[in-house]
Structures are given as C-alpha cells and as structure tokens.
Amino acid sequence: MESRKTILTSRRQLLSTGTVAGVMSMIGSPSEASGAVHAHPESGARSVREFGAAADAVSDDTAAFQRALDAVAHAGGGTVYAPPGKYLFKGTINVPAGVTLRGSYTCVPSHVGMRNQGAVKPGDDGTALLVTAGKGNEDGAPFLTLNTNSSVSGLTFFYPEQVTDSAPVLYPWTIVMRGKNPAIFDVELLNPYQGIDASKNERLNIRNITGQPIRRGIFVDAIYDIGRIENVHFNPWWSSHSAVYKWQMQNGEAFIFGRADWEYVLNTFCFGYHVGYKFIATDTGECNGNFLGIGADDCNRAVLVEQSAQYALLIANAEFTSFDGPDPTMVEVGSAHHGVVRFSNSAFWGPCDQIAKIAGTGTVGFRISKKTGGGGFLSASPRQPT
C-alpha cells in the first residue's frame, strides 16, 4: 500500500502544481470580454456602462462606478450592474446604504491563473475589477466599502500589479463591511494582499468566497450581533511554488477573529498559510461561537488561540493538517488564554510532532469517540499536555 508520506506529498503536489509566469498574462488583452455567459440584470438595475465605464483594462473606471452607485442611492436604492469586462480602478469606491453592486456571475467564480495557462483569465468570462488603488500602503483607504443593507456579488477582484518573485506589494483591505447587515456573496478574491475587513458592523453575511488573499483573508472584530460566514475557501490558485507563496506560508493568516458574539462559521477552508484560524483579544473583547465543518491544510498552525471568550468556541467536524515551517502544530493555545475552547469530532493529521500545545489557565476540550460508540471530553491544561 502506498505510504502515508507519499499520499500526503501527492496531495500537496496536486494543490501546488504549475509554474510561475508573468502577472500581466493574467489579464490578457485589454479588450472587453465578448461572448461571456452571464445573467441579464434584473428589471430596474442600472448598468455602469450608462455612466461611462469603459471595461477596457486601461481607462480608470472609478468615477463611473461611483456615479452609478450614487445615482441608484439617490433614487432610493437598488442594483448597479457591471456587465462582463475588465474594469480598472485607480481609486476607491463606496457602496451606499441600500445599494447592491453586482457582476455577471451567479455562482462563486474561480480562476486557476498561473497554474493553468490554458484556462480563462479574469474578465474573459465575466466581471473582473482590476485594482491598483492603495499600492504600497496596507493601512490606506480600503478599495470598496459596504454600508447598511448594501452588498456586493458576482465579481472577481484582481490586483494586476501584485508580484510573485519577491515579498508581496502591500495594499489596503479590498472590502470593508460597516453599518448593519452588509453582505458579500459569490465573490472571488483572486490575489489581494488583504481580503475582507468584517469589523465594526452588525449581522454581517459572507457567503461563497474563493481566492488567495496573501497576508490576511478575513478579519472579524467588534461584532455584537451575530455574524455569518459560509463556504469560504482560500487556495493557492493564483500563485504557488513562488517567492510570494513562500512568503504567504511564513506570514499569511487566513481567518482572524477578535470580538464576535455568537459567530456562526460553516464550511470554510484554507491551504498554505502560517496560521489558518487565529483567535485574538482586541480592545473590544474576544470571540465565541460555532465553527462547523472548517478546515486548514498545510498551515504551520492550523488553529492558534491566543484568547477566546468564556462563552466558548465550539469547533466541530473539522479537519486540520500541519506540514511546514518550524515546529508545525495543528492546535496551539497561548499562555495568556483564559477562555473556553471545545473540539468535537475533528480530524488531525500530518507529519508534525504533536496535535496540540496547550498553555494558559483556560479550558481546552477534545471530544474523543471510542470504537464502541461511546465518547467523552479530554480537557487539557498546562499541567495536562495533550
């Protein structure tokens, strides 16, 4: 039978095949995509083309998009539609309250990029936003801001000036969520430095996201009313076996949770990060909630719990693996931890020295099932290493 090490290596090779090529080959010709299959905008939607958007990957379409968004907001709310094409942005845009910005995709898009040169490129088969705003400044203004009851869906976000042969170029957050009920559906974050800042809002809704955020994927904080995150998968489809991917594996954090009251996270996954799921304390507090069917593969720390709330993190039906970097470990709980974490019916595998490193004064439980069908909790503390 094939050895365990061979199986693990084969899986990693499958997810990391391909060669590094020039970034600009990702956007191809500056001409607008033709013949793309896309949904017709619903009745009453306003097209960005009405407001002067060129979709040619050369002209700056920032002002045209903002005119369309503001016009729909002034009319009482509704949908702004961006037909298939390659829209270049040198500035930032704000989606007003009650307005939806929608692209052509009605399912979450995905582009394998450099890993398959014969595959379609962003903008060839649907709506792609090519972002250059904020280059060199990770603390700058976010590219797109959502507000109360506003949403974005059916789009690919691509940074054509991001590099692969060195440490990444810094950029601000691609999307920030503010106000009440902001939502993101069916979106590809192909290669942003930072993906979604989902903080300082109420009842956020994130569903069906793919891509490869390099430094940070999703950051959640200051959520006092339930947030929902579903079907988010971060894989190295844009770049692998490159200097920037190596940097990502040494520095990247896919999911970061600060204060969140009763967060619900379902079917999320990441591959090739330094930390898969990170739980921290911020000025507003810590996280508690339900994390079901989550996974982290080839992360140095699949789960890092610096702090959690007393109401507990429940992590169930999860799969965690750790391969690379110094002392790869599936679960690490820090020395300052005083909250509660429970792992139930979860799988841990990979060529690392230990499943978990537990410190702090809090409670960490692992539910274990016996062959007879029974089960129980194994609780760990600094005096009971797991």
Please report the pLDDT score of residue 43 as a whole number. Answer: 65
Q: Which amino acid is at 302?
A: A
- Low-confidence stretches of the chain (pLDDT < 70) are 1-43, 113-115, 368-386
Smallest CA-to-CA distance from 132 within 175, 171, 93 is with 171
To the nearest 10°, the Cα dihedral for 51, 57, 59, 64? 20
Look up the CATH architecture of domain 4-380.
Answer: 3 Solenoid (2.160)
Which amino acid, residue 102?
R
| pLDDT score of 213 | 98
SS3 51: helix
List, for residues 252-296, the tens digit of each pLDDT value. 999 999 999 999 999 999 999 999 999 999 999 999 999 999 999
What pLDDT sits at residue 116?
73
Q: Per residue in 59-85, pLDDT tens?
A: 999 999 999 999 999 999 999 999 999
The domain spans of the chain are: 4-380
The DSSP annotation for 142-184 comes to -SEEE-TT-EEEEEEEE-TT--SSSSPPP--EEEEE-EES-EE
In whole angstroms, give the CA distance from residue 218 to residue 255: 5
Strand partners, 319: 295, 347
Q: Residue 352: what pLDDT?
A: 81
- Centre a 10 Å sphere on the Cβ of residue 2 and count the other Cβ atoms it contains: 7
Residue 119's pLDDT is what? 84
The whole-number pLDDT of residue 349 equals 85
Q: Residue 361 corresponds to which tokens in the numbers above?
A: 């004064």
